Amino acid sequence: MKLIKGPGSPKLSERLIERNDLDYVEVESKIFPDGEIYVKLSKSVEDEDCYLVQTTYPNRRLLELFFIQDALIGNGARSVNVIVPYFSYARQDQMFKEGESISSRAIAERIQIQADSFYSVDLHSEKITDFFKIEADNYTAMRLLGVHSELYEPDLLISPDEGGIDRVKMAADEIDTEWDYLEKKRLDGETVEIKPKNIEAEGKKVVILDDIISTGGTMMEAARQLLEQGADQVHAGCTHGLFVDDAFDKLDEICDSVFCTDTIESNGCEVTVAPLFDSVF
11 is catalytic: no
Contact call for residue 213 and ligand R5P (CB under 6 A): yes
Residue 209 sits in the site that holds ligand R5P (CB under 6 A): no
Q: Is 8 in the site for ligand R5P (CB under 6 A)?
A: no
Residue among 153 and 183 whose Cβ is closer to ligand R5P: 183
> What is the nearest approach in angstroms of ligand R5P to the Cβ of residue 113?
28
Q: Per rule CB under 6 A, is residue 216 in the interface with ligand R5P?
A: yes
Is residue 93 at the binding interface for ligand R5P, with CB under 6 A as the rule?
no
CB-CB contact of 85 with 121 (8 Å): yes
88, 104, 218, 233: which one contacts ligand R5P (CB under 6 A)?
218
211 binds ligand R5P (CB under 6 A): yes
Can residue 210 be called a binding residue for ligand R5P (CB under 6 A)? yes
Please state the closest distance from residue 201 (CB atom) to ligand R5P, in A.
19
Does residue 217 bind ligand R5P (CB under 6 A)?
yes
Dihedral pair phi/psi, residue 124, rounded to 5°: -60, -35
Nearer to ligand R5P, 238 or 273 (CB): 238
Of these residues, 184, 185, 204, 205, which one is catalytic? 184
Catalogue the active-site residues: 184
Catalog residues that contact ligand R5P under the rule CB under 6 A.
160, 163-164, 192, 210-219
